[in-house]
Amino acid sequence: MVRRIIGSVAVLLAATPLSSAVHPAHPRTNVASEGTVGRELTPEARAAVRRQLRERGQGTYIAEMLAERDSALARWHDLRGQRLNVWIQPTSDVNEFHPEFAARVRDAFLDWDALKLPVRFAFTPDSAAADVHVTFIDHFDEPISGRTKWARDDDWWIIGGDIVLAVHHHNGNTLDDESMKAMALHEIGHLLGLDHTTDSTSIMAPRVRVRDLSPADRATVRLLYTLPPGAVR
């Protein structure tokens, strides 16, 4: 099994008023352009996926995801009741960090977990036992507030991932608790296999303007987890 590490440079979390900073280009688009070829489904399987996309794609942004990834989808295996163990950094020396940040990140995982997808989350205090690590830094040098990196195999199954969240915006302002949760919701969306959408009312917009999952966020991830990963074109 080949591990391919994909970086998801994540959201610039816009405070009020919204920042006009431009979100950097999404690195995942480089996966295909660098020559990495995901598994191609059989013609019958591709036809079945396209049929589901036609029938169930309305109200989702999965078509935008397919365009972003050269018609390929990535997701975790159905874990059949086994949960992904998440370790959230409980303390930090970063200036103005406080434990409520970790609590709000936990709340964000629980919001996604409430959808009861085939991949569910549990929390562990032991970082060595974790499948997913969430850590905090002071700020990013780029105008972003979070970054997700996940690994996939050649068949586009996600096999691991980590999230880094910034306590401060690029401009130096400190995130508040609700902003930290919204940023975490966005990053967990990437961890699950979602990409950005131009729909500004969704948590997966490049610049997050909302604080909760939208109907489109829920519909898109639910549809994703009924489809096989890989190239569908």
Q: What class has domain 4-231?
A: alpha beta
CA dihedral over 26, 100, 130, 92, signed as positive or negative: positive
Pairwise CA distance, residues 120 & 115, whole Å: 9
Beta-carbon contacts of 10 under 8 Å, excluding residues fewer than 6 positions away, are 144, 145, 146, 147, 148, 183, 186, 187, 190
The tens place of each residue's pLDDT in the chain, 233 residues long, gives 445 555 555 544 443 323 222 223 333 322 222 223 345 667 777 777 778 788 787 999 999 999 888 888 999 999 888 999 999 999 999 999 999 999 999 999 999 999 999 999 999 999 999 999 999 999 999 999 999 999 999 999 999 999 999 999 988 999 999 999 999 999 999 999 999 999 999 999 999 999 999 999 999 999 999 998 988 87
Distances (CA, A) of 188 to 48, 86, 193: 28, 11, 9
Pairwise CA distance, residues 4 & 72, whole Å: 15
Three-state DSSP class for residue 162: strand
Residue type, 152: R
Least Cα distance to 136 among 183, 86, 190, 89 occurs for 89
Least Cα distance to 119 among 107, 131, 104 occurs for 131
0.75 surpassed by pTM: yes
